[in-house]
């Protein structure tokens, strides 16, 4: 099941929203590949992308937090580190065990579930804080 970008996922920060859309797009590509029997071929590319892009994206978010004096920066950074570690763990399993539909299911359940929840709860707070500092 593909994930649809909705207003509920918008933070109000153009850079953050653009990068979130890229992350969701990559996951949707993997899910689409699975529906046509090509998920095992796509999983390595998706994990490599997520491994690289989440670090870039989290770096951008953290810079914005520091620049705006976001009060919960330390906790937010820990959330990012936890997610990056989860992606690295899945990447290591992929290299050790090879691609499997079980791994695709874990990506769908763990990574996407975490990402959607994080955007809706934590990233919205960050964007709101950043906007309040510009007034």
pLDDT digits (tens, 9 = 90+) for 90-127: 889 888 988 887 887 777 788 888 889 999 999 999 98
| Least confident interval from 16-20, 41-45, 126-130 | 41-45
Question: What residue numbers bound the domain in which 18 lies?
Answer: 12-133
**128 or 33, which is more confident?**
128
pLDDT digits (tens, 9 = 90+) for 47-93: 889 889 989 999 999 999 999 999 999 999 999 999 999 989 988 98
Q: What is the CB neighbour count within 10 angstroms for residue 119? A: 20
In a domain, 6, yes or no: no
CB 16 within 8 A of CB 64: yes
Return the closest-CA partner of residue 16 out of 132, 107, 126. 126
In a domain, 2, yes or no: no
- Given pLDDT bands bounded at 50, 70 and 90, which one contains residue 1? low
In a domain, 20, yes or no: yes
Which CATH number characterizes residue 109's domain? 1.20.120.50
Domain count for the chain, please give it.
Answer: 1
CA distances from 1 to 7, 30, 39, 55, 89 (A): 19, 10, 13, 25, 23
């Amino acid at each position: 099941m593909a994930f649809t970008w909705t207003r509920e996922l918008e933070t109000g920060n153009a850079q953050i929203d653009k990068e979130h859309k890229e992350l969701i797009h990559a996951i949707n590509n993997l899910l689409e590949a699975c529906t046509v029997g090509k998920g095992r071929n796509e999983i390595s590319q998706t994990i490599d992308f997520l491994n690289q892009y989440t670090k870039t994206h989290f770096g951008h978010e953290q810079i914005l937090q520091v620049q705006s004096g976001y009060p919960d920066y330390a906790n937010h950074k820990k959330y990012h580190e936890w997610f990056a570690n989860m992606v690295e763990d899945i990447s290591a399993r992929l290299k050790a065990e090879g691609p499997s539909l079980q791994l695709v299911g874990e990506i769908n359940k763990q990574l996407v579930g975490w990402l959607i929840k994080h955007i809706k709860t934590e990233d919205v707070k960050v964007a709101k804080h950043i906007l309040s500092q510009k007034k």
